[in-house]
Amino acid sequence: MNDMTTFDVEKVRRDFPIFSREVHGKPLAFLDSGASAQKPTAVLEAVQRAYAETYANVHRGVHYLSQASTDLYEGARETVRAHLNAASIDEIIFTKNATESINLVAYSYGWTNLKPGDEILLSTLEHHSNIVPWQLIAEKTGAVVKAVPIDAHGEFMMEAYHDMLGPKTKIVAVTHISNAIGTITPVKEIISAAHDAGAVVLIDGSQAAPHMKIDVQDLGADFYVFTGHKVFGPTGIGVLYGREELLEAMPPFLGGGDMVGRVTFEKTTYAKGHSKFEAGTPPIVQAIGLATAIDYINDIGFEKIGAHEQALLAYATEQLGQINSLRIIGQARHKAPIISFTLDGVHPHDIGTIVDRGGVAIRVGHHCAQPLMDHFDVPATARASMALYNNRADIDALVESVKSVQEIFG
């Protein structure tokens, strides 16, 4: 087990105001960060300052507040660029969430480049947000969506993937980390093999961004997406990284103000760089909050965060594994701090309702990953997803609450 002494989790918890409250008279054990993470004071204060001290619309104003707001907004883009090690700020596009980022690529790149018979490879691990947009584009273009299988442990099957790659493969869209079972996929190898086959690759990094350092140039990703609210930032902000040469050749996804060069009723020309894909008033304050969240986690350091989370995952796996009739779904060798489980004879919704009375917040359901649930032949699971602010007391509260579920159901 990793040494957790170099990471002061109690100090981190004090940075998050929500942990000062109780739920049903019990200390809050928040184990649903995979759905949406809590926000540190630094982010809350940055959002408040942006609204209270510098707020105005960006890019088009010549007055002081517009200039100040623009500087903060574009400064946030540079923060994200540096965080991902993108080559240019024009490779960073702000969207409202990762789902919109994926749809942007599907509609702009996919609709433009796919033709009947072309293949889009996904995986059985995918969130619905990385399935449905590709199905919609396949219907419009005549392309075919296929899914790379996983094994009984929830591992991405590389041999099957290599067998499925071929001259018809045009797009590979794969999650970096499964939101439902925590599997970490070998994205660098996935990307390299896809490029050898002549395909472009989109990586859904929504679950990876809170837990690990991401270097898009080292990975070789063509597109990489993540969402702000899972990385301790505000809702309403997502990121699309795209290689500049690909973005330059792609048509706009949405039309409106700020993404144009010249507009006449006869013809419109479009802005260059990232502006082409950011129509209308952007998520100004949300981007500022996201940049603050990124600075916050970088100040702590992903090495410390990762060691803490992996130690917590090992502890949770050990403790939950001692409960009779509890089955952990997905036990890949490389996992993020996510545990999905079932209890014999108890519906996951009942588990979630009862553990909530103990102040424990978990997620129950199919986690927007129904093909993955089908693979494991379960309708739903209970999911505990951990983050940098969780501690062993949270896990102990979960274990005791699950035991109380067993007592109630006999």
- Please report how the helices 284-300 and 302-321 are oriented relative to each other, as an axis angle in degrees rounded to 10: 80
Amino acid at 255: G
DSSP 3-state of 19: helix
DSSP 3-state of 30: strand
b vs e for 200-225, b when ≥16 Cβ sit within 10 Å of the residue's Cβ? bbbbbbbbbbbbbbbebeebbbbbbb
Q: What are the Cα distances from residue 171, in Å, to 187, 199, 201? A: 14, 5, 6
Cite the DSSP H helix spans in 85-167.
98-104, 111-113, 132-141, 158-164
- Bridge partners, 27 (sequence order): 22
Measured in whole angstroms, the distance separating CA 374 from the mean position of its chain's CA atoms is 22
Question: For residues 201 and 195, is the Cβ–Cβ distance under 8 A?
Answer: yes
- Bridge partners, 262 (sequence order): 269
Give the residue numbers annotated as catalytic, written as ranges.
368
- Please report how the helices 348-356 and 392-409 are oriented relative to each other, as an axis angle in degrees rounded to 10: 120
